[in-house]
Structure 1
């Protein structure tokens, strides 16, 4: 290659990197970005859990033991002891990967009721600013929504922008399990918003559960701090690096509690999380769609035993994102490029960046087959 070609290639790479800072992988698309501080570490309330001597011995440290060890700990308890721990430490047990699934539902219902009471007190507190009181009212309404209609809440953490995981189907008895990992602009307040339904993890999960006719349980997982709008958060892997261990531990907790290895569906920036988690993620299949890249050049770079699938429709604006990674900006190769080595999912009938789970699309039909183990 001549010097002129190298210069042209270098200019294209620099231009691509510059574009990556302004055109990035978010579900909202073109909003202005704000730097987020990722939520990491153990569940809320862990200090009181560590200090509890109810059983006459130290409780296992959520930061120090694996989900499989936590599952073994709970198997050694009576039903009464399990229930008592959920009552005493609902915010810990409800988010404890490896704890029995029904116990987590019970604990999160308790945590939601407690948070609702606290938020209502704050909403009436005239010493707070009007903005703080309005936020408290919104949180109380959010908790009420999550407590309604026997919703199965597998995780709930109101800190920061809030995190949550909701289950569709019988996760304890399911022969197949799917986990939906969302992209940007998703949090406790927006994970089940009515607007742009199939761009939310709840909308995707509901659609897949209905299409599969209950043959897979589906988890809408919002367990990491997502980017907001456009900006450096969405153009870099910082939040994905913080989120990947959380996704890995969550999936390990499912299998430790007796669920099968999940099929993990990763949308937009969520695919960056999945790419960084892939090597340790106990998944049967990894399905990325509307992806800006997985921070890998090929499937082999993911070091995963899971089957890797990729989908992108022609109308998805993610196609405008340069598939480069330079100086920490960008997320690497296009996983739908044949050279990447992923199995291609048809998406001719999907529309835009958030239409892959819309009923009647070829992508949803293919996703359903993957989720129930009917694709080879």
Structure 2
């Protein structure tokens, strides 16, 4: 008698579950459990309702939720300088975060927004109705806002919601022909955007190092413009936050294309979990001159062939002390980020990592990786 054919589906499912469990365990074991999950900051910036209702210029203002950066740029081209400045004063959080708005107008708007938010936090820091912990948090935020207001810093985006989002420009974004964007990984927000410890593990430290390495012939954006995972837990092992971040990165790149008029689109440097954001964004040639991944756990794709073939992809070699090498490159049941971009079979162009140390040392001065990053930014 013919034996019934065995069904291998339960066995395959069990293997998939086991693989996903291994992936999550490896991610968690690399840096400890982060029990809380983050809610991505999405949608238009605070103050959008008042912006849309503003009719003082006799013009319909572009809806931040639906207008493309190109449409925003076209709107501002018909508004005289005095009218633009008036909008920035009345709606600083909207104008400061509006991709497609003139760059220098955004700097002005964000300086105004930072000053306003600093005043609010200082009031909270001395509010006797608040518990000491909340007062301390408010004081810390007020101090961060003060540092972002000091020394003529060029803040391209600022959103105080949640853990806070911020982007800063190093160099002259409207004059130089070459630009770069640094997309960070986990544990980056308004408060950790720039810190003296582990400087090359922060967007500001990375951007400053790259800007100097190009001989200050470029402009580099330190972009903490999406909600990143905290610690190494479920958020870091899944793509939820990366998908939301990819949408915001796409708008940033579209905005740069219509406001800076560079000789070439930006070169985008994607560190750690930021490489998942870049992979899911899949920028085209109008948005990016190239993608560079470093310390990557995967890009959320199976190979370079899943990205736009017109945008070159480089993968920085992994140094021996980078713990990301302990994370298995799998994608099962929504866990993990797929194939290793440094694997020759992935299809990325290799970059050296000689001289780098640890997960955040690829932008350190004197490393072969930083020298390669500078050359790519300058189009060499």
Please give the range of the TM-score, normalised by the shorter of the 2 chains. Answer: over 0.9
Distance 1:21 1:65 in 2: 39
Deviation at 1:32, TM superposition (A): 3.0
Is residue 305 of structure 2 the alignment partner of residue 300 of structure 1?
yes
* Residue of structure 2 in register with 1:75 after alignment: 77
Distance 2:33 2:172 in 1: 37
Residues 23, 230 of structure 1: 8 Å contact kept = no
Partner residue of 2:295 out of 265, 285, 290? 290
Once structures 1 and 2 are overlaid, which stretch shifts more, 50-59 or 165-174? 50-59
In 2 relative to 1, CA 191–259 (structure 1 residues): closer, same or farther, beyond 3 Å?
farther
Distance 1:90 1:205 in 2: 25
Distance 1:235 1:200 in 2: 21
Distance 1:190 1:313 in 2: 24
Q: What per-residue deviation string (whole Å, max 9, x for no partner) do you get for residues 61-108 of structure 1?
A: 011110011001101110000000000100000000000000000000
Distance 1:185 1:197 in 2: 14
Q: What per-residue deviation string (whole Å, max 9, x for no partner) do you get for residues 112-152 of structure 1?
A: 11001111111121112222211111111111110001111
* Residue of structure 1 in register with 2:139 after alignment: 137
What SS does the corresponding residue of 2:204 show, helix, strand or coil?
Answer: helix
Question: What is the TM-score normalised by the length of structure 1?
Answer: 0.94
* Residue of structure 1 in register with 2:3 after alignment: none
Residues 179, 265 of structure 1: 8 Å contact kept = yes
* Residue of structure 2 in register with 1:113 after alignment: 115
* Residue of structure 2 in register with 1:255 after alignment: 257
Q: Following superposition, which runs of at least 4 residues in structure 1 exceed 4 angstroms of deviation?
A: 6-15
Distance 1:16 1:345 in 2: 30
Question: What is the TM-score normalised by the length of structure 2?
Answer: 0.93
When the two structures are aligned, how many residues end up with a matched partner?
Answer: 370
In 2 relative to 1, CA 100–321 (structure 1 residues): closer, same or farther, beyond 3 Å?
same
Once structures 1 and 2 are overlaid, which stretch shifts more, 214-223 or 274-283? 274-283
Structure 1 unmatched ranges of 5 or more = none
Distance 1:130 1:309 in 2: 48
Q: What per-residue deviation string (whole Å, max 9, x for no partner) do you get for residues 256-280 of structure 1?
A: 1024310000000000000000145
Deviation at 1:12, TM superposition (A): 6.9
- Within 5 Å, give how 1:224-243 maps onto structure 2: 224-243=226-245
Partner residue of 1:350 out of 333, 356, 364? 356
What SS does the corresponding residue of 1:221 show, helix, strand or coil?
Answer: strand
Distance 2:25 2:36 in 1: 13
- Within 5 Å, give how 1:1-376 maps onto structure 2: 14-24=17-27, 29-30=31-32, 32-260=34-262, 261-279=265-283, 282-311=287-316, 312-374=318-380
In 2 relative to 1, CA 193–16 (structure 1 residues): closer, same or farther, beyond 3 Å?
farther
Deviation at 1:14, TM superposition (A): 4.6
CA RMSD in angstroms comes to 2.1
In 2 relative to 1, CA 359–15 (structure 1 residues): closer, same or farther, beyond 3 Å?
farther
In 2 relative to 1, CA 343–11 (structure 1 residues): closer, same or farther, beyond 3 Å?
farther
Distance 2:12 2:377 in 1: 41
Distance 1:40 1:252 in 2: 17
Distance 1:362 1:16 in 2: 35
